[in-house]
Amino acid sequence: MDFSSIGIYIRKYRTAAGMSQDKLAELCDVSSKHIGVLERGERSPSLETLINIANALNVSADMLLCDVLDTQVGIRQTMLGDKIGALSQEQQRDILDVVDLLVEQKNKN
């Protein structure tokens, strides 16, 4: 199984938080070199490190693991729901209209 996506998500949420690798490393009690290794997908984090990273980035572990868990579709649905929920009601309606059209097209095929 390819765990490199974990590193992609670590980098994504770290940069979204405006945090450097050095700062994340400090918060997780690991070296910044180790954070780089994880972000490049060269190694998978230990459970303890994964928990520390999730806590430091203020994200859930499933957000970091969503591409390697069998329940990834449900996780992505939750993440998508959170993103849509942050939009205005008009924007939400527009997106849901597009989703309805896509579902209709898929059901026709």
Q: Is the pLDDT of residue 1 over 70?
A: no
Question: Can you give the pLDDT at residue 71?
Answer: 63
CATH superfamily of 4-65: lambda repressor-like DNA-binding domains (1.10.260.40)
The 10s digit of each residue's pLDDT in 49-61 is 999 999 999 998 8
Question: Can you give the pLDDT at residue 10?
Answer: 96
**Chain region(s) in the chain for CATH 1.10.260.40:** 4-65
- Cα 89 to Cα 95: distance, rounded to the nearest angstrom: 10
Question: Can you give the pLDDT at residue 62?
Answer: 83
- Cα 7 to Cα 20: distance, rounded to the nearest angstrom: 14
